[in-house]
């Protein structure tokens, strides 16, 4: 695993406009960065990232199987009681899932360590599935990368296939898709999923989360008053549970993508539960609940809110150093702790690997860099190759 400089495509910003990639620069900072790329060996990809992703996903599903039947654990996950039954139902029906991203600490040697499972609302999907794919094609065409260079990235292919399966499962030809207003990144991610659905022959109707209505019959509606019967929502379950329409969810009769059981799969309570069940697994870091610390607390640890997104409210205690905290609005719901395993450095960059799954199939990686040890949403995205 190496970080290598490369000339940028001179016209990449024009291409970005052409393909509708609008969030390559955010808050005046570059987000997409093609001044360098990461090179992995095939062995690193397959043995250290692909196989462990599939295995950890199955381990996580084992934990979900346990949590959905256990009121004490559901309480521990800070899931409101009125959703316990709907979550169990959605799990027992095996409501189909679309995708998720496992975040790993990995430097090219030894086992990748799982930081967390972004199973409900992962972003950076478009730049992974499409944009870095296009970068590789064009850099090969320009002769800057060898023809045989590959990339661990079958995301788009798998997403299209998965949409077709989900449509068949529910017997649908159209699907509603939603995210919040005022975020180019989320809208771009949903647009990408709309494109993938379209490639699978499924039409989509977009509605902003804030525009969703409630009908006299208890169904959710879009802005044209049509009922929403299948909804992909890039919006966290835990937010929806807490909001005004939360109580309308059980009766609204929606086929949710991601399904409601992902409220458990994406919960950080999963991390201590994984460690309890699979203690010593090479891809896991020791983790514990705030109220149940281990007999010997490691010198370094990280404290994460159960529901945090993009590194918010994370406290990092490196051994023998003052603790560092990222600000944010989360934490009321409780915290978990995880043993300290700092991100590897490549130059001045702290590098995080996101390993994608489409349903339960490993489908590729994303590489993000941050100038700090806590990867936040101002991090930069770099492409990668296998060579």
Partner 1 sequence: MTRKRSSTINLAQMRKHFTVKPLALGVASVMLSACGGDRQDATVYTSVDQCVNDNPEQANICQTAYQEALVEAERTAPKYRSEQDCEYDFGPNQCRVVNNNQGSFFMPFMAGFMLSNLLSPGGYYHQPMFASYSPYSRYRYRWLTADGYDFGDLRKRHYKVSKRTFNPKPSVSRTISRGGFGSSVRAKSSWGSGKSSWGG
Q: Which of residues 79-108 bind partner 1 (CB under 8 A)?
A: none
In degrees, rounded to 5, the angle at the alpha carbon of residue 371 between the alpha carbons of residues 367 and 376 is 65
- Residue selected from 38, 235, 288, 335 as contacting partner 1 according to rule CB under 8 A: 235
Between β-strands 230-233 and 255-257, what pairing exists: parallel, antiparallel or unpaired? parallel
- Going residue by residue from 126 to 145, which x/- string records binding to partner 1, judged by CB under 8 A? ---xx--xx-x---------
Residue 29 vs 75, nearer CB to partner 1: 29
Among 86, 96, 111, 227, binds partner 1 (CB under 8 A): 227
Q: Which of 7, 11, 17, 69 binds partner 1 (CB under 8 A)?
A: 17
Q: What is the rounded CA–CA span in Å between residue 236 and residue 259?
A: 11
Q: Does 242 bind partner 1 (CB under 8 A)?
A: yes
Residue choice 212, 257, 263, 357 for contact with partner 1 (CB under 8 A): 212
Cis bond upstream, residue 258 (ω within 30): yes
239 in Cβ contact with 232 (< 8 Å): no
Q: Is residue 332 within the footprint of partner 1 (CB under 8 A)?
A: no
The nearest distance, CB 320 to partner 1, in angstroms, is: 30
CA 120 to chain centre: 7
**Binding residue (CB under 8 A) for partner 1 from 152, 301, 340, 381:** 152
> Is there binding between residue 204 and partner 1 (CB under 8 A)?
no
Q: Give the 3-state secondary structure of residue 147.
A: coil
Helix 132-141 and helix 12-19, axial crossing angle in degrees, nearest 10: 140
Return the ∠ at Cα 57 (arms to 228 and 68), rounded to 5°.
60
Size of the residue set binding partner 1 (CB under 8 A):
79
The total number of residues written for the chain in this structure = 387
* Contact status: 122 vs partner 1 (CB under 8 A): yes
Residue 274 CB partners (closer than 8 Å, separation 6+): 59, 60, 63, 114, 281, 284, 287
Q: What is the footprint of partner 1 within residues 21-60 (CB under 8 A)?
A: 22-23, 26-27, 42, 45
By CB under 8 A, name the one of 2, 4, 20, 65 that touches partner 1.
20
In a 13 Å sphere around the CA of 221, the CA atoms on its Cβ side amount to 10
- Give phi and psi for 249, each to the nearest 5: -60, -50
User: Per rule CB under 8 A, is residue 185 in the interface with partner 1?
Assistant: yes
Least Cβ distance, residue 321 to partner 1 (angstroms):
25
Region from 51-59, 176-184, 273-281, 291-299 binding partner 1, contact rule CB under 8 A: 176-184
């Amino acid at each position: 695993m190496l970080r290598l400089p490369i000339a940028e495509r001179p016209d990449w910003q024009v291409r970005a406009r052409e393909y509708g990639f609008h969030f390559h620069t955010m808050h005046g900072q570059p987000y997409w960065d093609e001044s360098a790329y990461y090179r992995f060996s095939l062995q690193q990809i397959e043995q250290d990232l692909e196989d462990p992703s599939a295995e950890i996903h199955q381990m996580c599903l084992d934990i979900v199987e346990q949590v959905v039947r256990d009121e004490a654990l559901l309480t521990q996950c800070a899931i409101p009681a009125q959703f316990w039954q709907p979550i169990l139902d959605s799990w027992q029906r095996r409501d189909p899932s679309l995708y998720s991203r496992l975040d790993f600490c990995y430097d090219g040697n030894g086992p990748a360590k799982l930081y967390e499972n972004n199973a409900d609302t992962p972003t950076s999907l478009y730049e992974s599935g499409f944009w870095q794919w296009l970068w590789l094609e064009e850099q090969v065409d320009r002769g800057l990368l060898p023809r045989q260079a590959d990339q661990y990235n079958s995301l788009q292919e798998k997403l299209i296939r998965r949409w077709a399966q989900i449509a068949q499962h529910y017997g649908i030809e159209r699907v509603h898709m939603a995210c919040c207003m005022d975020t180019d990144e989320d809208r771009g991610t949903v647009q990408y999923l709309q494109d993938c659905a379209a490639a699978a022959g499924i039409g989509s109707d977009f509605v902003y989360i804030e525009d969703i209505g409630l009908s006299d019959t208890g169904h959710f509606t879009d802005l044209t008053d049509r009922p929403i019967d299948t909804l992909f929502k890039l919006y966290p379950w835990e937010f929806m549970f807490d909001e005004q329409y939360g109580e309308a969810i059980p009766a609204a009769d929606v086929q949710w993508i991601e399904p409601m059981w992902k409220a458990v799969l994406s919960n950080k309570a999963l991390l201590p539960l994984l460690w309890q069940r699979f203690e010593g697994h090479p891809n896991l870091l020791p983790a514990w609940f705030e109220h149940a610390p281990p007999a010997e607390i490691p010198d370094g640890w990280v404290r994460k809110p159960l529901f945090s997104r993009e590194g918010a409210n994370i406290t990092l205690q490196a051994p023998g150093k003052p603790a560092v905290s990222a600000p944010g609005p989360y934490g009321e719901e409780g915290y978990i702790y995880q043993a300290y395993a700092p991100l590897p450095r490549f130059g001045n960059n702290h590098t995080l690997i996101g390993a994608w799954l489409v349903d339960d199939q490993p489908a590729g990686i994303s590489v993000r860099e941050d100038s700090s040890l806590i990867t936040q949403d101002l991090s930069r995205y770099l492409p990668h190759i296998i060579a």
